[in-house]
Amino acid sequence: MKFEIKRLIGFSIAAGILLAGYSFRSANAVNTKPVLEKAPNILIIMADDMGYSDIGCYGSEIATPNLDQLAASGIRFRQFYNGARCCPTRASLLTGLYPHQAGIGHMTNDPEDSTAYQYNLPGYQGSLNNKCVTIAEVLKTRGYQTMMSGKWHVGYHDRQKWPLQRGFDKYYGILAGAANYFNPTGLRGLTLMNEPVKPKGKDFYLTDALTDHAIDFLNENHQQTKAPFFMYLAYTSPHWPLNALQDDVKKYRGKYKNGWKALRKERYNRMIKMGILKPEAELSADDAADWDKLSPEKQDEMDFRMALYAAQIDRMDQNIGRVVKALTASGELDNTLILFLSDNGACAEGGDLGGGLTENLGTKKGYMLSYGQSWANVSNTPFKKYKHWVNEGGISTPLIAYWPKMIPKASQGKFSDQYGFLPDIMATVVAASGAKYPLAYKGQSIIPMEGKSILPILQGKELPVHHQPIFWEHEGNSAVRMGNLKLVCEYHEGRPKKWELYDLDKDRSELHDLSASMPEQVSKLSKAYNEWASRAGVVPFDEIKKIQASRHK
């Protein structure tokens, strides 16, 4: 794939010099007059349950040439964080708040159970509340066309919580958290605008269909309105079930028969060589079954599971290439800010060797088909833990930022060591578009956004994004980061918090606990965490579990 990147010499842009859907090219040179420019388009692409090292430009053997090209012409962040789980991440991404502030401190409700996680607690209502605004709602005030294709997962049963009721002009996708890729029907079926629709054609595949509709929406906007657009393209790939197309699977079948330990070491060495990890970075302990003790038949099955997983990522990358090609054809690519990230770390659900019936592998059947913790340990190289936890393996995501009109030539293909997290995306979008984040919306006071803009980094300024602590809490797993220090605690039911302290500049894999030697920092950061938890509406997870148990008796 070739990108036709037109560099505008002398172009620079800063937040605060944008007008009503248009922006000014700033006059840095003598006798240069400002030139009116169309406001930037914004495209956010999210993968689902994909680990830190699962794409080529972050060290993977999986073929992702389109993402690799975006990275080669953009900036990769070594230290960007998500929210450890599907729907809390999506709530935080869309609103610029911590997930509890937006109403999704745990999970949203499952289609099969309308009472799930409805705790009558402000931070745990299971859908976006009216104290937040979405990126779509903010950008519509600047004349943007707002479109979404993909997984919603921030409010299911109440139609007022659906995409069109939260600022999007157009929507296609699944409202729930997961679906069969070949036949997403029933409670986990497809929605177009506000109406249920059926999969079209015998060759239906969800990743392709999400892209088809995204491109249709983009082309319609270009032809009919020519307004700047915001597109949120939320793929379900590579979230289970392991549903992949045969031609894609063939590329990988048999490539994983050396097992997870060997592959993890290969990725680790490649990541150091590529500069993703520092040379002194350590590899966390293997957290997998013993490959050599598996029968030949079981080894073949596990090769198949990983091949299916890899094929899902490969197909997603192919589809991202289709979107970029469509933007190139319409002349919109140069003026589009593209952000790619994953919603949490790799998923260890299904046990060491994965879940679901072996006989369903490679078919169009199955729902809870997963590749298991042993392969997830590879996906999260070099970190420990997984989705659900707030160690680096649970919250670290690749972040690729691509924007030809903003990123200087000298910065293209580089890494940033500045750390950021999901609420920064709202702040960045507001800064880039010139929109104003509201104090109130539809008569309701709105919680101030929590993030900071990464726009200076995209302008080539390697400056710290955060000067105050940032926080995580999911299912009682807790963390706070300030500078190079991270305080983290793994939840154990009925036990008091046991904080661990790590210097991430020297120990990104969280192997050397400094809590005993730096008690003053533990005290300072834990106090900051407790103050944040109180203001953000975090409830101790032991209490949440008691409420949950009482509701399901």
| Partners of 147 in beta bridges | 170, 231
User: Which amino acid is located at 142 in the chain?
Assistant: R
CA distance 48 to 54: 12
Q: What six digits make up the tokens of 313?
A: 């990522």
Contact 132, 93 (CB under 8 A): no
Residues designated as active site: 86, 153
**DSSP-assigned letters across all residues of 403-422:** -TTTS-GGGTTEEE---EET
**Any idea what DSSP says for residue 145?**
E
CB atoms within 10 A of CB 206: 24
Torsion angle defined by CA atoms of residues 315, 316, 317 and 321, in that order, rounded to the nearest 10 degrees? 100
> How far is 304 from 14, CA to CA, in rounded Å?
49
| Neighbouring residues of 499: CB distance < 8 A, sequence distance ≥ 6 | 487, 488, 489, 515, 522, 525, 526
Distances (CA, A) of 189 to 50, 99, 113: 22, 25, 15
Distance (Å, whole) CA 503 – CA 524: 15
Q: Would you state the torsion angle of the CA atoms of residues 13, 17, 23, 29, taken in this order, to the nearest 10 degrees?
A: -50
Q: How many angstroms separate the CA atoms of 107 and 52, rounded?
A: 22
Q: What is the DSSP letter of 76?
A: E
CA dihedral 425, 427, 430, 433 (to 10 degrees): -60
- DSSP 8-state class, residue 37: E
**SS3 state at 229:** strand
195 forms beta bridges with 192
